[in-house]
């Protein structure tokens, strides 16, 4: 396959050049248009990316907030990563797990250890996990991943497992699908070939094209929820954000389905990193702009924020279009049992517990959600996109957020959280105008109080 058809550097550079000096009036028109929730053209994105005007930024942020609420309502989905192995035969210069890092304590979790981690994550109150591992065919091949997914599901009440792993062949993706994963996530890191080559000097990951085409193989295997996103800081963010959206456009045109999620990992210092400094450091200001632009450009795509960012910025980003957030995370295999600085992928910048994070989400008026319904109701891929595009997903999201929050309050929450959560639920119920929906939620809440669990629409 000619992968230049997916990402053409000339096309991306030309768009950035053509829209470099877009007028203020035109930027305002683009932001206005975005609120119809039909997305933006690549040219319009190129224009927004190159806007520095502070006043326009505020208008952009307001639009991102508006769109997030229109499509997803007030809910913010919460999850935690489970690192099953830090063994890796690649040499990504920026990553603590790279093979050349001899200081790292290497570890692949045994079955008992995976069970322990899954239970510890669940004990915090989580129902959704992102499973992560390095790439080493001997220890983290498809058998390890499938085994880890099955073990985690069997360990307790984790209801959705998404995975972030190396690309693979269709046959292996089929095994992953059979194991019952939700979203398959893979970051291209950078879409800029020359930078990609420098950052990935050896190992299987050096093959840019094999990585770029992974989500197509996943689709062929029947996994229709996929997540993408560049690692911000490796190359000019304007190029990489535009390329991510081009990748999304290509998938939409060819398969009728865009990414279920876009993540915004920003490069962090890692143990024994091969980089002396961050090549294209992204400022907080630009980071906020990036999140808001994604929200305007692909309104129906979830945007995921991790604990790579600090608490203050994360709290702010909750109001700029983020729809999923990790919390209470550990980034070393076995980290929920015992933290090991020398086994981590990167340092967390937000050390708050899940309960503390949930309180902040509630204080800001969002509804924390542990919902796993769409995947189990087969609202995935195209079916999900159609619902989201017509802004109908909000109805499901709100109800399921309230129901899963109630479970959390009864089973895991601190006293403070119980108070804040119940206040939020009552306030939200009072705001629901449709009496039949209110009655339905109240009836289900009653069932949950009586001991029923895992109720969803
Ligand atoms: N090994 C698999 C791979 O590379 O695709 C999956 C797991 S890898 C640990 C997950 C992601 O972590 C990578 O795709 C990369 O974007 C991100 N990452 C690696 N090093 C990082 C760092 N120093 N700071 C922030 N994110 C990093
Ligand atoms: Fe290995 Fe992934 Fe880290 Fe690269 S980013 S060194 S492939 S774990």
Question: In whole angstroms, how large is the CA radius of gyration of the chain?
Answer: 21
Going by alpha carbons, the residue nearest to atom 1 of ligand 1 is 134
The tokens describing 397, both together, are 């999201």
Q: Whose CA is nearest to atom 6 of ligand 2?
A: 98
> Which atom of ligand 1 is nearest the CA belonging to 211?
5
| 304 CA to centre of ligand 1 in angstroms | 14
Ligand 1 near 167 CB (within 6 A): no
Q: How far is the CA of 95 from the centre of ligand 1 (A)?
A: 6
Mean pLDDT of the chain: 95
Write out residues with Cβ below 6 Å of ligand 2. 88, 90, 92, 95, 97-98, 134-135, 205
As given in the structure block, the two tokens for residue 312 are 């203050």
Helix (H, G, I), strand (E, B) or coil at 415: helix
CA dist list (Å): 254 to 64, 143, 173, 362? 27, 31, 20, 40
- pLDDT number for residue 211: 98
> Residue 1 above 90 pLDDT?
no
| First-to-last C-alpha distance (Å) of the chain | 41
> Residue 189's pLDDT is what?
98
The residue to mutate among 135, 333, 345, having the most atoms of ligand 1 within 8 angstroms of its beta carbon, is: 345
DSSP 343: G
Query: Residue 379: which pLDDT band, with cuts at 50, 70 and 90?
Result: confident
Centroid of ligand 1 to alpha carbon of 233 (angstroms):
12
Contact between residue 81 and residue 333 where contact means Cβ atoms under 8 Å apart: no
Mean local confidence (pLDDT), 333-356: 90
Name the closest-CA residue to atom 4, ligand 2.
92
Q: Given the structure tokens 């890692």, which residue do they identify?
A: 270
For the CA of 165, the nearest atom of ligand 1:
6
For 123-166, the pLDDT digits (tens) are 999 999 999 999 999 999 999 999 999 999 999 999 999 999 99
Share of the chain above pLDDT 90, in %: 86
Looking at the domain that runs over 69-372, which CATH code has it been given?
A: 3.20.20.70
DSSP string, 79-146: EEEEEEE---S---TT-TT-TT-SSS---B--HHHHHHHHHHHHHHT--EEEEEE---TTTSSHHHHH
* Maximum average pLDDT range among 177-191, 333-347, 390-404: 177-191
E strand or H helix at 371, and its extent? none
Residue located nearest, by CA, to atom 5 of ligand 1: 166
Q: How far is CA 341 from CA 101, 344, 348, 436, in A?
A: 14, 6, 11, 52
Q: Residue 121 has which token pair? A: 């994550």
Secondary structure (3-state) at 148 = helix
- Nearest atom of ligand 1 to the alpha carbon of 266: 25
Element (H, E) at 304: strand 302-305
- In this predicted structure, the answer to whether residue 66 has a pLDDT above a threshold of 90 is yes
**What pLDDT, in 10s, does the model give residues 283-339?**
999 999 999 999 999 999 999 999 999 999 999 999 999 999 999 999 999 999 888
Does ligand 1 have an atom closer than 6 angstroms to the CB of 251?
Answer: no
What is the predicted pLDDT for the residue at 322?
96
C-alpha triplet 333, 338, 339: angle, nearest 5°:
75
Structure confidence at residue 172 (pLDDT): 98
Bridge partners of 232, per DSSP, are 266
Distance from the CA of 339 to the center of ligand 1, in angstroms?
Answer: 19
Q: Which atom of ligand 2 lies nearest, measured to the CA of 96? A: 3
Stronger pLDDT, 390 or 134, i.e. the higher one: 134
* pLDDT recorded at residue 391: 55
170 phi and psi angles, rounded to 5 deg = -55, -40
Our answer on whether the CB atom of 135 is closer than 6 Å to any ligand 1 atom is: yes
Q: What is the mean pLDDT of residues 270-277?
A: 91
User: Closest ligand 1 atom, CA of 230?
Assistant: 16
Q: What is the pLDDT of residue 390?
A: 62
Per-residue DSSP letter, 325: E
Q: What is the pLDDT of residue 348?
A: 87
Q: Is the ipTM of this complex over 0.90?
A: yes
Where are the domains positioned within the chain?
69-372, 374-450
Tell me whether strands 128-133 and 367-369 are parallel, antiparallel or unpaired: unpaired
Indicate whether 393 pLDDT > 60.
Answer: no
Helix (H, G, I), strand (E, B) or coil at 229: coil
What pLDDT, on a 0 to 100 scale, did the predictor assign at position 380? 79
| Residue 383 CA from chain centroid, whole number | 19
List the residue whose alpha carbon is closest to atom 13 of ligand 1.
187
Q: Whose CA is nearest to atom 2 of ligand 2?
A: 134
The confidence score (pLDDT) of residue 336 equals: 94
pTM: predicted TM-score of the whole model, two decimal places: 0.96
Q: What is the pLDDT of residue 394?
A: 63
Our mutation pick for probing the ligand 1 site, out of 100, 164, 183, 196, counting the most ligand atoms within 8 A of Cβ, is 164
Compute the average pLDDT of residues 159-188.
Answer: 98
**Cα–Cα distance, 10 to 157 (Å, whole number):** 48
**Ligand 1 pocket member 162 (CB < 6 A):** no
> What was the pLDDT predicted at 330?
94
Using an 8 Å Cβ cutoff, are 87 and 140 in contact? yes
pLDDT score for 168: 98
173 Cα to the center of ligand 2, angstroms? 19
| Predicted pLDDT at 86 | 97
Q: Is the pLDDT of residue 219 over 70?
A: yes
């Amino acid at each position: 396959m000619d992968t230049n058809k997916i990402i053409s550097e000339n096309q991306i550079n030309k768009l950035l050049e053509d829209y470099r000096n877009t007028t203020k009036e035109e930027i305002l028109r683009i932001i206005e248009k975005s609120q119809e929730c039909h997305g933006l053209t690549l040219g319009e994105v190129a224009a927004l990316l190159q806007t520095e005007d502070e006043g326009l930024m505020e208008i952009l942020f307001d639009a991102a907030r508006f769109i997030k609420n229109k499509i997803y309502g007030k809910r913010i989905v919460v999850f935690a990563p489970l690192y099953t192995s830090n063994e890796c035969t690649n040499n990504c210069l920026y990553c603590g797990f790279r093979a050349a890092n001899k200081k790292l304590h290497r570890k692949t979790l045994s079955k008992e250890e995976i069970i322990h981690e899954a239970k510890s994550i669940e004990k915090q109150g989580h129902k959704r996990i992102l499973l992560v591992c390095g790439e080493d065919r001997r220890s983290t091949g498809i058998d390890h991943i499938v085994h880890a997914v099955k073990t985690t599901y069997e360990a307790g009440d984790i209801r959705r497992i998404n995975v972030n792993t190396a690309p693979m062949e269709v046959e292996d993706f089929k095994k992953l699908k059979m194991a019952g994963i939700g979203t398959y996530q893979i970051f291209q890191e950078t879409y800029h070939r020359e930078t990609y080559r420098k950052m990935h000097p050896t190992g299987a990951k050096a093959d840019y094209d094999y990585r770029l085409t992974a989500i197509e193989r996943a689709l062929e295997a029947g996994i229709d929820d996929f997540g993408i996103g560049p690692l911000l800081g490796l190359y000019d963010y304007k190029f990489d954000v535009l390329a991510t959206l081009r990748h999304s456009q290509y998938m939409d045109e060819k398969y009728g389905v865009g990414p279920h999620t876009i993540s915004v990992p920003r490069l962090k210092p890692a143990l024994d990193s091969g980089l002396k400094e961050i090549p294209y450091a992204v400022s907080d200001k630009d980071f906020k702009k990036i999140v808001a632009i994604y929200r305007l450009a692909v309104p129906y795509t979830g945007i995921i924020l991790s604990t790579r960012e600090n608490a203050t910025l994360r709290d702010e980003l909750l109001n700029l279009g983020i729809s999923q957030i990790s919390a209470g995370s550990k980034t070393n295999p076995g980290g929920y049992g015992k933290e090991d600085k020398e086994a981590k992928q990167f340092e967390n910048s937000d050390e708050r517990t899940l309960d503390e994070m949930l309180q902040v989400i509630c204080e800001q008026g969002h509804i924390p959600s542990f919902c796993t319904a769409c995947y189990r109701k087969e609202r995935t891929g195209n079916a999900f996109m159609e619902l989201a595009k017509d802004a109908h997903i909000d109805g499901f999201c709100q109800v399921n957020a309230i129901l899963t929050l109630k479970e959390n309050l009864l089973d895991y929450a601190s006293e403070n959280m119980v108070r804040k959560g119940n206040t939020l639920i009552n306030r939200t119920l009072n705001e629901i105008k449709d009496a039949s929906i209110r009655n339905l939620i109240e009836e289900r809440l009653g069932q949950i109080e009586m001991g029923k669990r895992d109720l969803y629409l």
